[in-house]
A and B are shown apart, each in its own frame.
Chain A
Amino acid sequence: MPDLVAVEEERELSSWELAKLELNWGRGDPVNIGWNLSDRICRQGLGQTKALIWEGFGGQERVFTYEDLRVLSNTMAAFLARQGIAPGERVCLFMDRIPELYIGFLGILKLGAVAQPLFSAFGEESLATRLLDAGTSAILTQKKYLPRIRRIRAELPALRHVIVADAEASALQQGETPLHLDSEPRVEDFPVYPAGPETPSVLHYTSGTTGQPKGAQHVHRSLLSQYLTARRVLDLQPGDIYWCNADPGWVTGTSYGIIGPWSAGVTQVVLDAGFNVDRWYSFIEKHRVTVWYSAPTAIRLLMKEGKTPAARHDLSSLRHLASVGEPLNPEAVHWSREVFGRPFHDTYWQTETGCIVITNLPGMPIKAGSMGKPFPGITAAILDMRTFEPVALPGRVGLIGLAPGWPSMIVGYRNNPEGYAKKFASGWYLTGDRGTVDADGYYWFVGRDDDVINTGGHLVGPFEVESALLEHPAVAESAAVAKPDPVNMEVVKAFVTLKPGYEASSDLELEIMNFVRKKLSPIAMPQDISFVTSLPRTRSGKIMRRVLRAQEWGEPVGDLSTLMED
């Protein structure tokens, strides 16, 4: 009998060791991700290869080679250093998907600072919460987002710099600095910060059931996982033209919208425009996209329009398709085979994991609806819900657990060690997702193990929504739960009791929806509000969200013995 533990350890080692070998990691070259995505690629002779082809919604185009990326990220790092920003400080990127965002990301890392990308649709409360928790020193933004930042700036004592990428100095106030990357003196050589594998790199905020969003702290060694999975899961090869639909305000947009593809030296295309079926297909056709990493919500929007729009375009360049964010329904896999001649490959991972951990690898037989199998080097298991020990029986529902130790695992939640500690039990990292594994080793998503709402692939914390609802003058009590949705999988539904003097009406519903949208973000806006006279509570007074959620999903409400009687 072979020693299975030893075999497994060797398999894990070999996976990440392969990444080290391919990246020349640990042989005297910088570990810094910023250097690895630009200088290293240039040193490989790919300086004149296009790194970024950017297209704005009006059709304008900007193209950057890897040499441009190297020099401009140096320029950005030098600019930030001149502002007095030091290694370790958090620098927020709060902007549309414009080139300055991508170049700024690399510049921040080269300086040794921590990149904190935030989704530009965040309202002032969502923004303030995350900037305050991070103690952010500087924010790189655009003119159109200045009003939002100005309204909250007084609440943010650590925020010393507001840097604006597209404004003249005359339009700015004290404490705001213009940045015109095109006219900045080019910096050929910048002393890249000597980051170690454990040096903080990227800070992404993610939502949980309780409390405010948690700052998931990534470190520079994440590159190993992100590079290897970009190569082996997304199948990125030299010469590829790669399109990732994700905004870098979310982890997919950095792990696989910046780090993965550029560490592999491929050309990335970015479309900074809202969703439009014809525009998307035209974009693939025009740039001859070969690898496309999308999301179930986007795929379902394409499916809604039928096959005809796709037939009007030459999409034959597409070689590999992958999806992330929420479970990919079998219909989407079948549809993709019909329309694109190849299936979307579902991938599974989280902000905390930093890289794809369970996946359908290229060439692997796909079971439509399954997230696939653990990536080599990742040990996954279905855990018993109470003991957290692996469940041996195929098909039995349990928690999806991962054995810690892969390179891109976060090192903690900022200012929240207790929250991080709760993510582990019996030596396993708990994903918070329930699933099953079948006899062939394929994993299947069943649902969340908590009250977090997954809408269009974005996690929304019910507590954050409920807190925002309570700030509306008409709202006395609130509860936010997931409601099923054919496109976004789930959307936010709110249950609200009103204060005396207010009456339920469609006007009030719309007013509250817009109130939350502006405070938090469009994704956190309840798409449906029920005005109720009371909310189900436990005898200790805690709102029983699960009862409301079960109603929405038509599921049994379960044990109600602790329900408070009116």
Chain B
Amino acid sequence: MDDLQKTILDYVKREYLEEGDDRELGVKTPLITGGIVDSFSMVSLKRFLEKKYGIKIPDADATPEAFDSVARIALLVEKIAAVRA
């Protein structure tokens, strides 16, 4: 797990899992299809990524599929950051 994935995973655990929720969460755990993050909550997760990494994630790229795991989110962030650079 690289730093980017770790930062996102830590944020997801902190913000979307409740205290006392002992579910295992890894970089490949399904977030949207797994019911951990829903389409409304995706907005705050997207906002976090944009703020943290100074990027703008186009709505067309912010799909449930692209946000379905920490690994996929990290790929999306890397792709957008690379274009910006």
In Å, the complex CA distance between A510 and B64 comes to 20
Residues of B within 8 A of A514 (CB): 15, 44
Contact A279/B47 with A148-B18, A304-B63 known, Cβ cut-off 8 Å: no
Bound-state Cα–Cα, A305 to B33, Å: 16
B39 cross-chain contacts in A, Cβ below 8 A: 274-275, 301, 456
A305 touches B63 (CB 8 A): yes
Q: Are A276 and B65 touching (Cβ within 8 A)?
A: yes
**Which one of B21, B33, B40 lies within 8 Å of A525 (CB-CB)?**
B40
- B53 is an interface residue with CB less than 8 A from chain A: no
Nearest Cβ on chain A to B68's Cβ, whole angstroms: 7
- A interface footprint on B6-32 (CB within 8 Å = 1, 0 otherwise): 000000000100111101000000111
Partner of B51, one of A273, A277, A507, A527: A507
Contacts of B40 on A, CB cut-off 8 Å?
455-456, 488, 517, 522-523, 525, 527
Give 1 or 0 for each of B37-78: 1 = CB within 8 Å of chain A CB: 111110110011001000000001001110010000000000
Most buried by B among A150, A273, A522, A525: A522
Given the known interface contacts A147-B21, A276-B65, A514-B44, the answer about A522 and B51 at a Cβ–Cβ threshold of 8 Å is no
User: Which residues of A are found within 8 Å of B60, using beta-carbon distances?
Assistant: 304
Q: Which of B21, B38, B68 contacts A276 (CB 8 A)?
A: B68
A274 touches which of B15, B20, B38, B47 (Cβ 8 Å): B38
* Across-interface contacts of B34 in A (CB, < 8 A): 57, 273-274
Contacts of A527 in B (CB 8 A): 40, 43
Q: How far is the CB of B76 from chain A (nearest CB, A)?
A: 16
Q: Give chain B nearest CB distance to A460 CB in angstroms.
A: 10
Cβ contacts A413-456/B at 8 Å (1 or 0 each): 00000000000000000000000000000000000000000011
B residues in contact with A121, CB < 8 Å: 38
Known A-B contacts A57-B33, A506-B51, A510-B51; A275 and B41 likewise in contact (beta carbons under 8 Å): no
B58 shortest CB reach to chain A, Å: 12
* Cross-interface CB contact of B64 among A276, A507, A523, cutoff 8 Å: A276
List chain B residues, Cβ under 8 A from A322: none
Contact of B44 among A147, A507, A510 (CB under 8 A): A510
Q: A146-B20, A147-B20, A147-B21 are in contact. Are A273 and B43 (CB under 8 A)?
A: no
Q: A275-B32, A276-B32 are in contact. Are A147 and B47 (CB under 8 A)?
A: no
Q: Known contacts A275-B64, A304-B63, A305-B63; decide if A57 and B30 are in contact (CB<8 Å).
A: yes
Inter-chain CA distance A139–B39, complex, in Å, is 26
Question: What is the total number of residues of chain A having a CB less than 8 Å from a CB of chain B?
Answer: 33
Tell me which residues across on chain A come within 8 A of B15, comparing CB atoms: 514
Which of chain B's residues has its CB closest to A297's CB? Answer: B39
Q: Are B43 and A274 in contact (CB under 8 A)?
A: no
Which A-chain residue is minimally distant from B60 (CB atoms)?
A: A304
Mask of A498-535 contacts with B, CB within 8 angstroms, 1/0: 00000000110110011001000011010100000000
Q: How far is the CA of A523 from the CA of B31 in the complex (A)?
A: 17
CB-CB contacts of A334-371 with B at 8 A, as 1s and 0s?
00000000000000000000000000000000000000
A304 shortest CB reach to chain B, Å: 7
A125 to chain B, nearest CB (A): 14
Residue from A144, A513, A525 having most chain B Cβ neighbours under 10 A: A144
List, in ascending order, chain A residues with CB within 8 A of B32's CB. 274-276
Contact B48 A510 (CB under 8 A): yes
Asked if A277 and B43 sit within 8 Å, CB to CB, the answer is no
Give the shortest distance, in Å, between A236 (CB) and chain B (any CB): 27
Give the CA-CA distance A277 to B80 in the complex, in Å.
23
- Determine whether the beta carbon of B38 is less than 8 Å from that of A277: no
- Chain A residues with Cβ under 8 A from B18's Cβ? 144, 147-148
- Whole-angstrom CA separation of A2 from B14 in the bound complex: 69
Q: In whole angstroms, what is the CA distance A117 to B19 when docked?
A: 24
Using A279-B33, A301-B64 as known contacts, say yes or no to A525 and B41 having CB atoms under 8 A apart: yes
- A506–B39 Cα distance when bound, in Å, is 21
Q: Is the CB of A522 within 8 A of B35?
A: no
A96 at the interface (CB under 8 A from B): yes
Cβ–Cβ contact B64 & A96, under 8 A:
no
Contact partners of A509 in chain B: CB under 8 A: 47
Cα A488 to Cα B39 with chains together (Å): 10
Cα of A146 to Cα of B47 in the assembled complex, Å = 29
Q: Are A274 and B44 in contact (CB under 8 A)?
A: no
Which of chain B's residues has its CB closest to A506's CB? Answer: B51
Q: Is the CB of A513 within 8 A of B19?
A: no
Question: In the complex the two chains form, is A517's CB within 8 Å of B35's CB?
Answer: no
| Across-interface contacts of A522 in B (CB, < 8 A) | 38, 40-41
A144 to B21, CA, bound (A): 6
> Could you list 10 A-B pairs, sorted by A, with CB under 8 Å?
A276-B68, A279-B33, A301-B39, A304-B60, A305-B63, A513-B47, A517-B40, A523-B40, A525-B43, A525-B44
Known: A506-B47, A517-B40. 7 other contacts (CB 8 A): A96-B35, A272-B35, A301-B64, A305-B63, A514-B44, A522-B40, A525-B41
B residues with CB within 8 A of A: 15, 18-21, 23, 30-35, 37-41, 43-44, 47-48, 51, 60, 63-65, 68
Closest 7 CB pairs of A and B: A147-B20, A522-B40, A274-B32, A522-B41, A274-B33, A273-B33, A147-B18
